[in-house]
Chain A
Amino acid sequence: MNAKTSKRLNMKDRYRIMTRDLAWEPSYQRHEDIFPQEDFEGIKIVDWSQWEDPFRLTMDNYWKFQAEKERKLYAIFDAVSQNNGQMNVSDPRYLNAVKLFITAVTPLEYNAYKGYARVGRQFGGVGARIACQMQSIDELRHTQTQIHAMSHYNKYFGGMHDFPHMFDRVWYLSVPKSFFEDASTAGPFEFLTAISFSFEYVLTNLLFLPFMSGAAYNGDMNTVTFGFSAQSDEARHMTLGLEIIKFILEQHEDNVPIVQKWLDKWLWRGYRLLSIVGMMMDYMLPNKVMSWAEAWEMYYEEAGGALFKELERYGIRPPKFAEQTVIGKNHVSHQTWFVFYQYGHATAFNTWIPTAKEMDWLSEKYPDTFDRLYRPRFELLAEKAAKGERFYNNTLPQLCQICQIPLAITEPDDDTMISHRDTVHEGERYHFCSDGCRDIFHNEPEKYVQAWLPVHQILQGNCGGADMEKVIGDYYRIEMGEDNLEFEGSPEQRRWKQWKQAV
C-alpha cells in the first residue's frame, strides 16, 4: 500500500467510495431486467441519487460498531447465567411476557431479516440497497441476541422450547405471522412503507419500549441489556423509515395516493397487532410501567399526530380510522387478556385473574371502562375459579379474515356489541373485525381469500384431527399442564416457591 492511498479519507469521500461508488451503470442488461419488481406497484422514482442516507455509515464501520456491541452484550448474558439471574425477576408471572416475546416477536425479527434481504435486491438505487442490507443484518442480529437472551430462562421456565415451530402453527401466533407475511409478499415499496415506516417509525415505541421497560421494572437483566444493544440499530431503522417515506413522496406526485392507501392499511394492521402488547402491559407485568392507554396517547396520538402534521405538506392525511384507535385504547387490552384467559388451555404461557390490587390499578387507569365492563367479568370468573370451576372456553372463536384476531373487540360506538363486518366475494362470505380490516380485503381480495385461519384449519382436519388436546399437544407442541393453563397452582408457581425457599 503506498502512502497516497493510505491517507485518511474524510467522512464524505469515504462514504461515497464505500457505498455509492460500489454501484455501476449496467451496459448490456436493461435496468428493468435487473430490478424487475421496481415498477409494478406504480411507484415512480425519477432520480435515485436523491436518496439521502441519514447515517452515512459504511460497511466496514458498521461491522466495527456491531462487534463492539456484541462483546458487551454477551459479557452481561454470561454474568446473568452465572449469578442465577432468573431468580431476580419480580414475580414468576413476569416470565409469561418473555414467553410471549420469544414466540411472537423474535420470529418477526427473523422475517424482517429475510424481508430486507429480499427488497434490498430490488431497488435501482444503491443508497437504498445498502440501507436495506444493513438493516437486514441488524434484524438477524436481533433474532440471535433475543434467542440468546431468553435461552437462559428457557432452562427454568416453560413455553419457550419450540418457539419457531409454534410461530408457524399456534392460533394466536398466526396474528403476527400473517401480519408480516402480508408485508413480505407485497412489492418492495409497500414492504418499506409497512415495516420501515408504519412499524419501525410510527409504532416501534409501542412495541419495544413496553417490553424493555417492562423488563427493567421486573428485574429481567437479559432483556434490558438486549434492548440497549438494539437501541442504536432501532434509531437507525426509524430514521430510515422516515427518509424512505419522504423520498417516495418527493419523487412523484402520483406516489401520494398509493402511499396513503398503504399507510391506512399498515397503521390499522399494526394497531390490531399491538393488542397483545396492550394486554402484556396492563395484565402480564407484575410491576407496571404505564397503562396501554397512556402509551397510546403518548406515542401514537401525540408523537404520531405531530408526524402526520409534518407529512401534510406532501398531501398525506392521518390514517383512516385513527379515531377508532383512540376509543379502542380503553378497551383493547382488557378484551385481549379476556380472550387469552378463556383460551388459556391453548396458550404457551399461563394466564390468571388480576389480583385485587391490580384491579384497583386498572380501575384508576381506565375510569370509564374497567369497573363498568371488565371488573365484573373478571370477578365472576374469579368466583368460578374459587369454586374449582376455572373457566376455559371449549368452543372455537370466529376470526377476522385479515388480522386473524378473534372477533372479541367491540364497536367503537357501542362497547357491549361485538364489532363485525362481512362481505361476499365471488359467492364466498368473508368476516372481519372492523371497517379497517374489511377495507384491506376489498382492496386486494385475491390475496386475502387464502388466509390460513387457524380455526378453519382445525375444522378442516389439517392440524392433527378433531381432538383439541392433540391439536394443542402434538400439533402446537404446547405441553399440557406444563406450559399452559392457570398460573395459580401451576408447576411454574410451585417450582418458583421451592427455589425461593432454597435460597
Chain B
Amino acid sequence: MMSVNANYPNYQGPVRDRVENFHGSQLVYVLWERHLLFCAPLTFLADPEMSFVDFLSEILRPALAPHPESEQLRFDEAKWRLDGEDFQPDLEKSLIDNGIDHKSQLRLITPWLSDLADAAI
C-alpha cells in the first residue's frame, strides 16, 4: 500500500464508516452467490451480539423472501464463506463470536435449487 501525495504532510481523511458511527450496530454484507435477482450483495445493520441463527431468521430470511427460490432455500444445506475463507457458523453463538465483525462479507452458497440457476437468477 502506498500513501497519498498531498500538498501538506501527513494528510489523513476521517474514517467515515468506523463502527462507532453505527450506534452500537455493525454492518454485515451478504452475497447469495450466483443469485443475481438481487443485483448486488445486501447491506444489513445488525447487533454484533445477535446470534447467528437469529440473524438468519430475523434478518436474512425475510430479506430473501421475494426471491422465487427462497422457499426451497435451506440454510442447513448451504455452505458459507466469511471474508474470503470457508466458514462453519456456530448457530447459537453471536455474530461477533463467530468472527463476523464490522463490514464483514458473508457468502451464502446453495446447491442447485431450480432452473433459474441457468441465468444466475
Contacts and interface: CB of A to CB of B under 8 A. Distances in A.
Contacts, number: 148
Given A377-B121, A380-B116, A41 B38 contact: no
B4 A393 contact: no
B14 A450 contact: yes
Nearest to A406: B40
Given A380-B116, A398-B41, A429 B104 contact: yes
A335 interface: yes
B4 A446 contact: yes
A226 B56 CA distance: 53
A175 to B, nearest CB: 13
What DSSP secondary structure best describes chain B's contact surface?
A: loop
Contact of B41 (A380, A407, A456): A407
A393 B39 contact: yes
A133 to B, nearest CB: 22
Interface string B29-61: 101011011111111110000000000000000
A187 B54 CA distance: 49
Nearest to B17: A456
A418 B83 contact: no
B88 interface: no
B31 A397 contact: no
B43 A455 contact: yes
Interface stretch (B19-27, B70-78, B89-97): B19-27
Contacts of A36: 7
23 contacts: A335-B39, A338-B39, A377-B121, A380-B121, A391-B37, A391-B66, A395-B44, A396-B42, A397-B42, A398-B43, A399-B40, A417-B33, A420-B31, A444-B2, A447-B13, A448-B13, A450-B15, A452-B16, A453-B16, A459-B22, A459-B25, A460-B17, A460-B22
Going nearest first, the 6 A-B pairs with the smallest beta carbon separation are A450-B13, A416-B120, A397-B40, A376-B119, A406-B40, A444-B4
Interface of B: 1-7, 11-18, 21-23, 25, 27, 29, 31, 33-34, 36-45, 63, 66, 68, 83-84, 102-105, 116, 118-121
Interface of A: 36-37, 40-42, 187, 335, 338-339, 342, 372-377, 380, 391, 393-399, 406-408, 410, 415-418, 420, 422-423, 425-426, 428-431, 442-453, 455-456, 459-461
